[in-house]
Amino acid sequence: MTEVEAGKPQTTLQSHLARVEELLRRHRLVEGLAHRQEGLHHDLVENLVHRQNLAELQREIDQLHPADIAHILESLPQEDRQSIWNLVKSDRDGEILLEVSDAVRESLLAEMDTPEILAAAEQLDADELADLAEDLPEDVLYTLMQRLTAEQRERVQSAMAWEEDQVGALMDFDMVTIREDVSLEVVLRYLRRLKEIPDHTDKLFVVNGDNLLTGVLPVRWLLVNDPARNVSEVMAADANTFHPEDDVTETAQAFERYDLVTAPVVDGEGKLIGRLTIDAMVDVIREAGEAEALSRGGLREGEDIFASVWRSVRNRWLWLAVNLVTAFIASRVIGLFEGSIEKLVALAALMPIVAGIGGNSGNQTITMIVRAFALDQISPASAKRLLRKELGVALINGVIWGGVIGIVAWLLYGNPALGLVMTLAMTLNLLLAAFMGVVIPMGLLRMDRDPAMGSSVMITALTDSGGFFIFLGLATLFLI
C-alpha cells in the first residue's frame, strides 16, 4: 500500500517484484561464492552477508500485502518461489494460498508438510477453508476438520457441498444482523460494541426471530437518518437476494448491473444463510473473461508460466490432438481430389485462401454470438433474424473479397474460369461459415453446453474441410 504523500509515485507491483528478484540474485551470488571458496574465515564472512541478505528479504516480504506476495510467487521460477515461500511467516501462509492461482497453489502445497498446512489453515474462516479444501491431501483435510468447532465444520461442509459455479461456494458468513423493532440508536450502540465490522459491510441484514430476512439497512441510511427512528421505518423491504444454488456468472452480472457491494444469500424458506461480496464477484467476472481467452487459445486451464515442460505439454495436449484430427480430416478431403490437383496444380496454391477466409469469418460470427449469449441478449425470437443478418454479411463479403481474389487468380494463372470458381467457392464457404457460426453455438447451448467452449475449433474444422471440398469439387466439375 502506498503512503499518502504528495507527488510520490505509486509503488507498483513490478517494482516489488524487481526488488525481491534483486535480493534473491544477491542471495544466490553469496551462496555461489560460499560453495567455491574454502577456509573458516571466508565462511564466516559469507555467512554474515548471507544472513544480512536473508534478513533484508524477510523485511521486504513482511511489509508486503498478501496479494502482492502472491503475485511475486506467481512471477518467480520454481526454486526462487520456494525460497520466498519459506521466508513467509507461517501465520500469513493461509491468506496467501487463497490469493495465488490454482496452478501455483498446487506447487506450493506440494512442498508443505502436514503441520505447515494445518498451521496455515488455522488462520482461515470457514468459507476460505472450503475454497482451499479441494487442493488439500485427504488425510490433512480430515485432521483439519477434526480440529474445527461443530459450527465451523458445518459451515465448511455446507460451502463445500456447492459446485464451484454456484453462489453457495462463494458466500461468506461475515454478516451483521439486526432486528427491525429497534431504533437506529440501538443499532449504532450495538455496532460500537462489536470489536470489528466485517470488510465490505455496506448494509446490515434485518432478520426476525426465525432468522428470516425481512429487509436490509444500508449503512449510508443508518448514518443520515434520525437515530430515534426505528429500523423498520428506514430499512429497504426489497433487496437483491440470492440463493446458494444460483449460477455465479448471472449473480456477478446482477452485482455489476445493480452496483452492489454485498448481498444476502437466503435458503428456500427465506432464511439468511450467508453473504456475497463484490470482491468474490470481481474474481468471477475476471475468471470468466480469462477462461474464454484460454479456451480460445487452446489451453485447458491457466498455466503456471514456470510450470515444468512436461506439465505444460499436458495442459496443451488435448487441444493439439483435437486440432490434429481435424487437420487430418481436411487432409483426407484434399486427398479425394489429388487427381484434379495433379492436372491443375494452381488449385493447391489457392485452396488455403478459401479455407482460411472461411475460418476467419466464421470465428467472427461465433465471437459475436457467444458474447451476445453471455450477455443474455439472444431470445428465440431473434435467432432467425440473426441468421439472416449473418448470411447477408457473408454474401457481401463473398462477392467483394471473393471477387477480388478471383480477379487476382485470373491474372496470376491467366485462367478466367479458375477465377470464377475461386469467387464462387469463397462465397459458398463464407455462407457455410455464417450458417455454422450461428448454428453451432445455438446447438451447444440447446445441449446445455458452454457455447464458448470448442465452438471455435468446430467452425475452423468445418470451414477448412468444407472450403477444400467446395473449391476442389467445383474445380473438378468445371475446370478438369
Contact positions with its own copies (CB under 8 A) in 454-473: 456, 464, 468
Q: Considering Cα of 368, then 369, then 374, then 376, what sign does the dihedral take?
A: positive
Beta-strand relationship, 203-207 and 213-218: antiparallel
Considering only the stretches 44-52, 84-92, 135-143, 235-243, report the one whose residues sit in contact with its own copies under the rule CB under 8 A: 235-243
How far lies 352's CA from each of 42, 129, 348, 473, 474, in Å? 67, 53, 8, 14, 15
In the complex with its own copies, the residue whose CB is nearer, 157 or 173, is: 173
Question: Is residue 286 a contact point for its own copies (CB under 8 A)?
Answer: yes
Read off the C-alpha cell for 15: 517494482
Binding-residue pattern over the window 159 to 188 for its own copies, x denoting contact by CB under 8 A: -----------------------------x
Question: Is residue 1 a contact point for its own copies (CB under 8 A)?
Answer: yes
Question: Is residue 40 a contact point for its own copies (CB under 8 A)?
Answer: no
d(CA 20, CA 13): 11
Residue 402 Ramachandran class (φ > 0 left, ψ -120 to 50 alpha, else beta): alpha
Considering only the stretches 38-46, 106-114, 145-153, 315-323, report the one whose residues sit in contact with its own copies under the rule CB under 8 A: 315-323
Binding-residue pattern over the window 121 to 160 for its own copies, x denoting contact by CB under 8 A: ----------------------------------------
Binding-residue pattern over the window 416 to 435 for its own copies, x denoting contact by CB under 8 A: --------------------
What H or E segment, with its residue span, contains residue 419?
Answer: helix 416-446
* Residue of 353, 360, 359, 361 lying closest to 419 (CA atoms): 353
Minimum distance from residue 13 beta carbon to its own copies (Å): 5
Per DSSP, the three-state class of 271 is strand
Residue 5 Ramachandran class (φ > 0 left, ψ -120 to 50 alpha, else beta): beta
Per DSSP, the three-state class of 145 is helix
In the complex with its own copies, the residue whose CB is nearer, 46 or 450, is: 450
Minimum distance from residue 195 beta carbon to its own copies (Å): 7
Question: Is residue 21 a contact point for its own copies (CB under 8 A)?
Answer: yes
Binding-residue pattern over the window 324 to 363 for its own copies, x denoting contact by CB under 8 A: x-xxx-xxx-xx--x--xx--xxxxxxxxx-xxx--xx-x
d(CA 463, CA 429): 7
Per CB under 8 A, contacts with its own copies among 63-82 are 65, 67-68, 71, 74-77
